[in-house]
Amino acid sequence: MVTQLQSPDKSNIIYPDDNGEPMSDNTEQFRLIVWIKENSELLFANDPNVFVAGDLLWYPVEGNNKLCQAPDVMLGG
């Protein structure tokens, strides 16, 4: 799926939702990613200001679809 947002200059910018990279290289890495993500959700379950994501393609600069990261686990607040 692709999301299109309008930047302040009204041009359409496409933000791909897949970078073509695997989430993990093996089952052990995947197990640890899920373990960290799920435990982070439990740790911050009572804090509505904390967002926990796993394998999220993240664009830190609005309007720049070339600069992106896909952390295994990300916490924001």
- At 24, the pLDDT band (50, 70, 90 cuts) reads confident
Beta-carbon-side half-sphere exposure of residue 65 (alpha carbons within 13 Å): 15
End-to-end Cα, the chain, rounded Å? 26
Beta strands in 1-76 (DSSP E): 2-6, 12-16, 51-54, 73-76
**pLDDT value at 2 more than 90:** no
Point out the least confidently predicted range of 11-15, 45-49, 65-69.
11-15
Question: Tokens 């435990």 sit at which residue?
Answer: 39
pTM of the model: 0.69
**pLDDT value at 10 more than 50:** no
The closest of 59, 42, 53, 55 to 2, measured between CA atoms, is: 59
* Contact by Cβ (8 Å): 13, 65: yes
